[in-house]
Chains A and B, each alone.
Chain A
């Protein structure tokens, strides 16, 4: 079906990729037939797809081969649709028409399918992936007078309506002769497609809501909130798509867009001398995604002092998420608990969480004037937070009386429509400029936004540096100090000319320079105090590095480079799926006695190397002493270990320079108990030695008579 009956020879190269598509005339015939038989139950749905000079753009950017590669991949995807019952043809340079399968339920499904097929970036060559930009026109037809060409024209005209240069789509309802986007709230699949388009086409926007000091009305920080700019529906609030993004695996893409935007904005504010830490909401889904969280930690660590993170209480329930939050905290990234009080959190878990701020959910703030119970809850949260050394921010403040009540209760920071709605960065700048300058004293120092007392910053920094055990942490302390002194850090690549020329990255990453407006007290403090703190941090980092190396040396057998008994003590918890083997070289004393200890050492080194070379990289090998080795093979059955040992024996015998053999006792780990497993393996090893050496034995299983050894090899 998908292949044309004859492959035309001598066609221009660009056509060859599309040879698998329907020929235009065939397509036209099928379209006409389908239009004639269309009914309410069997609408005809047809799409046109315009690629905005895709080929030319790619060719200019990456070369002809890349352009051809993308067109080839596109053709493969379109012919793939053909196999699913679609009819696809090329109707013009860069324009394709697709007739949905007869069973299509409505216009939503085909457009979703087409977009999901085409929004995946296409491969243009080694390490080059390009996003295909396109506009899609959709025309549907159920009954009444029409013709195939009319439908095609409808779809094309819808495509032109949609054509904004990026991914976008528009509907053409042939039956109603009405061109309009879907305003009735599209189905979930379509909304997912919309979101994919929005991510790819840069239609996500970040708005910022100021968090203010309730006493002065001054902004102390902002919260970044994502919005989707839909070509037809306008600004879509996050409630309509975040949940979908989490369920359909798009949340990390959304988070990346938000973080990139926020990073740029935060740097811009820093350059403009605004000290405005920006809180970014992180989904638990992102935190528990092992691949994404690494990237997240790296990105956020570079934004210390500029960006803080907000997580909901549900993050507290997940150990993996807490681990990531701890790493962020160690890198100096502040964590806030969002919507506090609405989840299922256990209050006790608050103390274990690396958070510094609790945000009281709007549910308790909205009726605080009328409902004394809400006020009681707020006061209770505040007490708890004070005891735990956490700061509190009230969300959803909408009236002045609420502000007064909160202040009376002791809450000093909050956000809500009473102060400002979330708004684009440019509007926020205007809003900030319109605020009167604060004249009151600052009161107790909040943890972000305003500068701390310089002596306190130095003391805090010195104290924190005593505790660091990695360069990363030392950098975190420096970033925190810069932020506490009222400055910000900017990568040297983007630094303004008046950045303070002192690198606070300690050579651990690309250089980071502090910035603060020339002549400001913050700059004065930074210039005076920072160089010294940087050197202290460097000393602390050097000490940590030396200590780490020393630990490695202590844990490593100097002869073979394998872990020793001390190293074994640092092994992570074992699982029941793991197995171990005790391995021992046979008659090794004779080798030493006959050839001397130097030769014995050489054999030990060669055997260690063979083990490392011929076992998996995830397997752990330790030299426990003399010629005795312990092998830990994660997620492997004892039988698997036997196979690996057999392989090792074959290799060792083919490479060996001495007739030295080895024996092993193998056992599975039970209940994560290494010492018992070592004991069993040792008994099995003893049995192997007794049975004549150069053999491997499985330890007896629990419940079986002791030492009923199974001889597997000789």
Chain B
């Protein structure tokens, strides 16, 4: 019995065995597998599992970095086995400023290359001014921007606007863009894709789209919301102690992290307004709930955080619209808590990796007596 491709690769990522991953990916391509398939059915889902292993605190950031490096090695080895016909004009692909997740974008870049698009991949977190400078000098046929984290969406919006000003087609993709074209439209992009195949289709069709809303006005409103952020988060951190007495016992470091989490929620509320998409804050709350729960933070911490933010809302604009977004998110969480999703049964490789990591960690902890506290 052979394992599904993604599970097979996940084992290499978990080991972590760079050579094995590289050999395996290269062999698959040599044996006739298309790079699209290796990416869509192997590397991408395996990396999604890596993300969830981190999210559930089974893996540390170090594990995640190491696994990413292994996946990079696999992708490089596979790409080196592929032909790179040059059938179209040059395309530039970059990650939004503040987004350090370059691997998904690189997967798309490598697949595009095999489909005949010479791609200039500019890597993680690309500052808009440097990007614009590059585009002015090289004038590619189209620009693709990738964004995996919602925090980088405002920077992505600025980049999209700058590229539109150069009259170049600009397409966006990545997890932060959600499951539909709504956010891409709000950013002012010409098109949106979820994966490499979608990017191929966009580049073939080259659709153009003119935004109907005033993008500049939204960016100004976002900046105004940002100006409230610091003081509001401070006040809410103080208010949170009355909802969660345990906060009073927090170390200064942990208090800072709590404040940063509240500021993140506010920032996401502002991004929600920027993109006119209430689902964004709801998604972020769910995500934060999972991350905190896995790190032993008391349940309902996010709900309490939202309550604290709502209770300390400043009277000035655009606070009321931010408040409305926070309110909707709290309602969403209240609905969620009644029917929390049950984890699916049936052991998978990810479960196995998870169980092994837990065992290894608990044995280390019991010997070093250095348990991981809530963080």
Residues of chain A touching chain B, judged by Cβ–Cβ distance below 8 Å, are 492-493, 495, 497, 500-503, 505-508, 510-511, 513, 527-529, 531-532, 534-535, 538-539, 541-542, 545-546, 549
Count B interface residues, CB 8 Å: 25
Residues of B within 8 A of A549 (CB): 80
* Contact present for A511 and B69 (CB under 8 Å): yes
Interface window among B60-68, B176-184, B204-212: B60-68
How far, in whole Å, are A527 and B125 apart by their CA atoms in the complex? 8
Alpha-carbon distance A144/B73, docked complex (angstroms): 76
The 9 A-B pairs at the shortest CB distance, nearest first, are namely A531-B123, A507-B73, A535-B123, A531-B124, A511-B69, A492-B65, A501-B100, A507-B72, A511-B65
Write the nearest CB–CB distance from B340 to chain A, whole angstroms. Answer: 30
A94 to B341: give the CA distance in the assembly, Å: 61
Candidate in A505, A527, A532, A542 with the most chain B CB atoms within 10 angstroms: A532
* Residue contact A502 to B124, C-beta cutoff 8 Å: yes
Q: How long is the Cα–Cα vector from A545 to B125 in the complex, in angstroms?
A: 26
Residue from B95, B121, B123, B126 with most neighbouring chain A CB atoms (10 Å): B123
Q: How far is the CA of A369 from the CA of B9 in the complex (A)?
A: 68
The closest CB in chain B to the CB of A500 belongs to B100
B102 touches A502 (CB 8 A): yes
- Listed A/B pairs (7) with beta-carbon separation below 8 Å: A501-B65, A507-B22, A511-B65, A511-B69, A529-B130, A531-B126, A532-B130
**In the bound complex, what is the Cα–Cα distance between A384 and B311 (angstroms)?**
73
A527 to B123 CA separation, bound complex (whole angstroms): 11
Give the residue name and chain of the A residue nearest to B71 (CB).
A507
Q: How far is the CA of A675 from the CA of B73 in the complex (A)?
A: 42
Is A510's CB under 8 angstroms from B69's CB? yes
Complex Cα–Cα for A497 and B22 (A): 28
The interface centre, meaning the residue of A505, A507, A527 with most chain B CB atoms within 10 A of its CB, is A507
Contact call A531/B95, Cβ cutoff below 8 A: yes
Q: Which of A502, A535, A538, A549 has the most CB of B within 10 A?
A: A535
Kindly list chain B residues whose C-beta atoms are within 8 Å of the C-beta of A508.
73
A495 touches B122 (CB 8 A): no
Interface pair B79/A503, CB less than 8 Å apart = no
Q: Is the CB of A531 within 8 A of B69?
A: no
**Given the interface contacts A531-B102, A532-B130, does A511 sit within 8 Å of B73 by beta carbon?**
no
Judge if B127 is at the interface, Cβ distance under 8 Å.
Answer: yes
Whether the Cβ atoms of A542 and B76 lie closer than 8 Å is: yes
Q: Are A532 and B69 in contact (CB under 8 A)?
A: no
A495 to B61, CA, bound (A): 10
Q: Please measure, in the bound complex, the distance between the C-alpha atom of A529 and the C-alpha atom of B61, giving whole angstroms.
A: 23
In B111-153, which residues have CB < 8 Å from any A CB? Answer: 121-127, 130
Q: Is the CB of A532 within 8 A of B126?
A: yes
Seed contacts A510-B66, A532-B126; 10 additional CB < 8 Å A-B pairs:
A492-B62, A492-B65, A500-B100, A501-B100, A501-B124, A502-B125, A507-B69, A510-B69, A539-B121, A546-B80
B164: which A residues are within 8 A, CB to CB?
none
Interface centre among B65, B102, B122 (most CB of A within 10 A): B65
B264 at the interface (CB under 8 A from A): no
Q: Are B123 and A505 in contact (CB-based, < 8 A)?
A: no
Known: A538-B76, A542-B76, A545-B80. A503 touches B68 (CB 8 A): yes
Min C-beta distance of A482 to chain B, whole Å:
14
A334 to B80, CA, bound (A): 31
Q: How far is the CA of A81 from the CA of B364 in the complex (A)?
A: 42
Interface residue B185 (Cβ < 8 Å from any Cβ of A) = no
The answer to whether B62 touches A493, judged by C-beta atoms less than 8 angstroms apart, is: yes
Contacts of B55-110 to chain A: CB distance below 8 A: 61-62, 65-66, 68-70, 72-73, 76, 79-80, 95, 100, 102
Q: Which residues of B contact A542 (CB under 8 A)?
A: 76, 79-80
Question: How many angstroms from the CA of A268 to the CA of B66 in the assembled complex?
Answer: 21
Decide yes or no: A511 and B123 within 8 Å by CB, A503-B72, A528-B130, A538-B76 being known contacts.
no
- Distance between B12 CB and nearest chain A CB, rounded to angstroms: 12
Query: B332 an interface residue at 8 Å Cβ cutoff?
Result: no
Which residues from A are CB-within-8-Å of B127? 528
The CA of A527 and the CA of B100, in the complex, are separated in Å by: 10
- Would you call B18 an interface residue if the criterion is a C-beta within 8 Å of the partner chain's C-beta atoms? yes
Report the bound CA distance from A534 to B95 in whole Å. 13
Smallest CB separation, B134 vs chain A (Å): 8
Q: Name the A residues within 8 Å of B76 (CB-CB).
A: 506-507, 538, 541-542, 545
CB < 8 Å neighbour of A503 from B65, B121, B125, B126: B65
The answer to whether B66 and A492 touch across the interface, beta carbons within 8 angstroms, is: yes
How far apart sit A497 and B62, CA to CA, in the bound complex (Å)? Answer: 9
- The distance in angstroms between the C-alpha atoms of A545 and B79, with both chains bound, is 11
Q: Closest Cβ of chain B: how far from A531's Cβ, in Å?
A: 3
Question: How many whole Å from B50's CB to the nearest CB in chain A?
Answer: 13
Q: How far is A503 from B79 in the complex, measured between Cα atoms in Å?
A: 19
Residues of B within 8 A of A527 (CB): 125
Bound: A531/B93 CA distance, A? 13
Given the complex, which residues of B lie within 8 Å of A532, measured CB to CB? 122-123, 126, 130
**B102: A residues at CB distance < 8 A:** 502, 531, 535
Distance of A503 Cα from B71 Cα, bound (Å): 12
B76: nearest residue on chain A (CB-CB)?
A507
Q: Which of A511, A529, A538 contacts B66 (CB 8 A)?
A: A511
Contact between A534 and B65, CB atoms less than 8 A apart: no
Q: What CA separation (Å) do A542 and B125 show in the bound complex? A: 22
Q: With A532-B123, A542-B76, A545-B80 in contact, is A495–B130 under 8 Å at CB?
A: no
Query: Are A497's CB and B124's CB within 8 A?
Result: no
Complex: A188 Cα to B192 Cα, angstroms: 77
* Smallest beta-carbon distance B285→chain A, Å: 24
Query: Can you name the residue of chain B whose Cβ is closest to the Cβ of A527?
Result: B125
Neighbouring B residues of A505 by C-beta, 8 Å? 69
How many Å lie between the Cα of A685 and that of B18 in the bound state?
48
The CA-CA distance from A226 to B341 in the complex, in Å, is 61
- Which residues in A have their C-beta under 8 angstroms from that of B70? 507
* Nearest-Cβ distance from residue B284 to partner chain A, whole angstroms: 20
Chain A residues within 8 Å of B126, by CB? 531-532
Please, how many angstroms separate the alpha-carbon atoms of A527 and B124 in the complex? Answer: 9
CB-defined contacts of A510 to chain B, threshold 8 Å:
66, 69
